[in-house]
Chain A
């Protein structure tokens, strides 16, 4: 039996005549963990969707165990032993874990108790600590991931494809996920995983394949790669000096105080939090998961409400404000760029232009009675050009864009409102390195233009590369402030932990 379980030869997939992948050769060995990396739009998702039967090749061949196959549906791929765990999980949130596991395998008469017992036994055999009777929407991201994996294994998948599996996981959950993947490998399952976190590829993978602009660049053992080599292969240029590389030797001086948060409380996440944000500066907010950073700024932006009793004060331009919904905050000049773009950032089946136009409408008091397609197109085009969103046209749906370009649409949707205070929450999560550089440049430009910019990030190099001042959050409040000139990773992490 050949060592190769799955292979693609000269794989080409065209969308409206534009190649998403072009003459790509790919081989997956039995029991290996194979990382697929590349910029957004490099063709990783298309390649994996071909394997999983979500899309079919325009030309080229696919082989499973040496036999030519062409799965046209995910079900056909599943029958070939190929399962895919999507970035946005495909579980039914209102159903239980067991029901999700056996979804699609129901019989004419289903005995719920029997399903639960079977699910319990199966999950235990995988050593997964998930309650089969729990409703999926109540599970954390890691547990949901486990259910997805369990479902793939239940379908006797020999190849499991993960699309950005760690994007929504906490550091602890990531570690657990890595253990799961290694366990699957021990069981002889071959893993393909897409990740923008290059360190993960280096740590976890046996081999790494790099794609660029829909073409295969290199495949090699992970041990022969380092971060710089991967980045250079991904973008075709050396980014080591532009991406997190340079240490700041000057910071922007603070302008007028735009935002003051005083003794803000939102139990249990925000505890007596106080901070200020100044115009013309990038204020970085670092903290571990659960430090209350996102919640604090969601209260500022009217997405969440502070405590009803003695919830503290939010002062914008020297005036106390209390927003119960985001609309008045938007009109007051606050833009919040969400960390969860797929859920909160855009309407995925609407066009790029319409999404950006919606941002503008949110700024107008009472919205508009009649919507102008022409205005939407014009506004959309302006911002697509300005932020260099890579689309085939303004009418393209946002769901069809790569992660980095989706993020640019979310940012454009906020910037079209001409805000004074822009809050970026994890602005480059799930975004490739090329787009990261562009988004960072945009954030810097906004601060140079005199806007008050807040960047919330769990990634220390990003915080250090962007911020003029760094606030460290711990247990619901800001506990330390550093100038970017004095900050070191050790100092910041010490403040975040102790």
Chain B
């Protein structure tokens, strides 16, 4: 009874759990145009994830696994289902997640057949893979309620069924390292611990070998996604969309949300998007998009592009942006190779390349 009254009072006053606020892009997250200026080295139908063995770049595009040699792409293999996650293994192998429900491991990217196939019935939305200790692969399973392509549904249902899994390649044994996460989307080893993105809670957590969790980076103004190691130490964290007060508001209005989900085409939901500006039917938050003829970085974005550089402790150092007036939105994967950062802008279907020297110059311009 008291809880119900408290809930009502909070919603009425806009306080506590009903607070509809988002943090600003400031400090290390200060907006710039670096991602917007990144070179587009390829346009793809359905790019999803990137992996590198240090020499070669691999890209998951729909059901195809592609190898990139400069600007040229070669199809290494083709699957019968879409690839939802990809990672290179220390022994030269490669692991792929198919349709979020199966993980296949190959001795080499071009090997004739898989050395291991793990299709645990609990797999539902595997969206990121990373090499783990002792011949394991670490996977994040975003949701047990919704398949990977329906991540928006999971957000609107306020899903909290994300898991972090350890998959033993040799035995096919699956161990749950963490569960009940608010959409796990991205994992990377950090010493003995694992850094995991928890998208709907806008944070990155560290999971210790004993299973204990602690927040490393909290209250982000974005929905964080995949992580990858940086060559000089630390990590790259991608974010596929920015938070807005409008979406936060919708997430607190249960009846409205249910009705929206029942009656409106998901393409036009008030929800984060990987790209925007495609239709006049899209909802727009009521605020000034343009001031003095300039699209302002603090204008409420429907879609956004962001990569955050983290140090070894997980503290943000700087960020690369494609702001509301850009198109390189929906960044879902990034890897660093040969002194350049490669990233997938899933919104426009682009593979981007930003040399680290260019990033340094732009940051100090």
Chain A interface (Cβ within 8 Å of chain B)? 254, 256-257, 260, 262-263, 274-276, 278, 308-313, 315, 318, 320, 322, 469, 471, 478-479, 481, 483, 485-486, 498
Which of the residues B12, B20, B23, B298 comes within 8 Å of A276, measured between beta carbons? B23
**Which residues of B (140-175) have their CB < 8 Å from a CB of A?**
none
Beyond A318-B218, A320-B19, is A276–B24 a contact (Cβ under 8 Å)?
yes
Nearest CB on B from A287, distance (A): 15
Nearest CB on B from A471, distance (A): 7
Which of the residues B19, B292, B364 comes within 8 Å of A312, measured between beta carbons? B19
Please determine whether A310 and B20 come into contact, CB atoms closer than 8 angstroms.
yes
Verify if B21 is at the interface (C-beta below 8 Å from A): yes
Q: Which A residue sits closest to B31, measured CB to CB?
A: A481
Q: Which B residue sits closest to A263, measured CB to CB?
A: B21
Which of the residues B14, B20, B27 comes within 8 Å of A257, measured between beta carbons? B27
Please determine whether A310 and B292 come into contact, CB atoms closer than 8 angstroms.
no
Interface residues on B, range: 20 to 34
Chain B residues closer than 8 Å to A308, beta-carbon distance = 13
**Which residues of B (5-53) have their CB < 8 Å from a CB of A?**
12-16, 19-24, 26-28, 30
Please determine whether B19 and A485 come into contact, CB atoms closer than 8 angstroms.
no
Please determine whether A309 and B13 come into contact, CB atoms closer than 8 angstroms.
yes
Please determine whether B14 and A260 come into contact, CB atoms closer than 8 angstroms.
no
Please determine whether B26 and A276 come into contact, CB atoms closer than 8 angstroms.
yes
**Which residues of B (189-219) have their CB < 8 Å from a CB of A?**
215, 218-219
Consensus secondary structure, chain B interface: loop
Complex: how many Å from CA A274 to CA B218? 16
Beyond A311-B14, A315-B219, is A262–B21 a contact (Cβ under 8 Å)?
yes
**Which residues of B (237-258) have their CB < 8 Å from a CB of A?**
245
Please determine whether A275 and B24 come into contact, CB atoms closer than 8 angstroms.
yes
Complex: how many Å from CA A309 to CA B13? 5
Chain A residues closer than 8 Å to B284, beta-carbon distance = none
Chain B residues closer than 8 Å to A485, beta-carbon distance = 364
Given A260-B219, A275-B24, A483-B30, 11 more A-B residue pairs with CB atoms under 8 Å apart are A254-B315, A262-B21, A263-B22, A274-B22, A274-B23, A275-B26, A308-B13, A312-B21, A313-B19, A320-B16, A485-B364
Please determine whether B27 and A274 come into contact, CB atoms closer than 8 angstroms.
no
Complex: how many Å from CA A485 to CA B30? 14
Please determine whether B27 and A254 come into contact, CB atoms closer than 8 angstroms.
yes
Beyond A275-B26, A308-B13, A471-B26, is A479–B21 a contact (Cβ under 8 Å)?
no
Chain A residues closer than 8 Å to B16, beta-carbon distance = 320
Which of the residues A263, A310, A481 comes within 8 Å of B30, measured between beta carbons? A481
Beyond A311-B14, A481-B30, A485-B364, is A260–B215 a contact (Cβ under 8 Å)?
no
Chain A residues closer than 8 Å to B22, beta-carbon distance = 262-263, 274
- Centre residue among B15, B22, B27, B292 by max chain A CB count within 10 A: B27
Consensus secondary structure, chain A interface: strand
Please determine whether B26 and A263 come into contact, CB atoms closer than 8 angstroms.
no
- Centre residue among A260, A308, A471 by max chain B CB count within 10 A: A260
Complex: how many Å from CA A363 to CA B24? 31
Complex: how many Å from CA A469 to CA B28? 11
Please determine whether B21 and A478 come into contact, CB atoms closer than 8 angstroms.
no
- Centre residue among A276, A485, A486 by max chain B CB count within 10 A: A276
Chain A residues closer than 8 Å to B291, beta-carbon distance = 498
Can you report 5 residue pairs joining A to B where beta carbons are below 8 Å apart? A274-B21, A278-B27, A318-B215, A471-B26, A478-B24
Please determine whether A479 and B219 come into contact, CB atoms closer than 8 angstroms.
no
Chain A residues closer than 8 Å to B364, beta-carbon distance = 485
Beyond A311-B14, A318-B218, is A262–B23 a contact (Cβ under 8 Å)?
yes
Complex: how many Å from CA A246 to CA B298? 32
Please determine whether B245 and A263 come into contact, CB atoms closer than 8 angstroms.
yes
Chain A residues closer than 8 Å to B315, beta-carbon distance = 254, 256
Complex: how many Å from CA A308 to CA B13? 7
Beyond A263-B245, A481-B30, is A309–B14 a contact (Cβ under 8 Å)?
yes
Complex: how many Å from CA A320 to CA B219? 11
- Centre residue among B26, B245, B364 by max chain A CB count within 10 A: B26
Nearest CB on A from B112, distance (A): 50
Chain A residues closer than 8 Å to B365, beta-carbon distance = 486
Nearest CB on A from B294, distance (A): 9
Nearest CB on B from A147, distance (A): 40
Please determine whether A262 and B13 come into contact, CB atoms closer than 8 angstroms.
no
Chain B residues closer than 8 Å to A483, beta-carbon distance = 30
Nearest CB on A from B35, distance (A): 18
Q: Which B residue sits closest to A257, measured CB to CB?
A: B27
Complex: how many Å from CA A322 to CA B15? 10
Chain A residues closer than 8 Å to B21, beta-carbon distance = 262-263, 274, 312-313
User: Lowest 5 A-B CB distances belong to which pairs?
Assistant: A310-B14, A262-B21, A274-B24, A263-B21, A313-B21
Please determine whether B14 and A469 come into contact, CB atoms closer than 8 angstroms.
no
Please determine whether A498 and B218 come into contact, CB atoms closer than 8 angstroms.
no
Please determine whether A260 and B292 come into contact, CB atoms closer than 8 angstroms.
no
Please determine whether A260 and B19 come into contact, CB atoms closer than 8 angstroms.
no
Beyond A318-B215, A320-B19, A479-B298, is A276–B14 a contact (Cβ under 8 Å)?
no
Chain A residues closer than 8 Å to B14, beta-carbon distance = 309-311
Nearest CB on A from B120, distance (A): 35
Q: Which A residue sits closest to B19, measured CB to CB?
A: A313
Complex: how many Å from CA A274 to CA B29? 13
Chain B residues closer than 8 Å to A275, beta-carbon distance = 24, 26
Complex: how many Å from CA A308 to CA B16? 13
Nearest CB on B from A482, distance (A): 9
Complex: how many Å from CA A207 to CA B139? 78
Nearest CB on B from A470, distance (A): 11
Beyond A310-B14, A479-B298, A485-B364, is A469–B19 a contact (Cβ under 8 Å)?
no
- Centre residue among A274, A309, A486 by max chain B CB count within 10 A: A274
Complex: how many Å from CA A313 to CA B365? 33
Nearest CB on B from A129, distance (A): 34
Please determine whether B219 and A318 come into contact, CB atoms closer than 8 angstroms.
yes
Q: Which B residue sits closest to A273, measured CB to CB?
A: B24
Q: Which B residue sits closest to A311, measured CB to CB?
A: B14
**Which residues of B (313-337) have their CB < 8 Å from a CB of A?**
315
Q: Which B residue sits closest to A315, measured CB to CB?
A: B219
Complex: how many Å from CA A434 to CA B172? 73
Chain B residues closer than 8 Å to A254, beta-carbon distance = 27-28, 315
Complex: how many Å from CA A402 to CA B335? 60
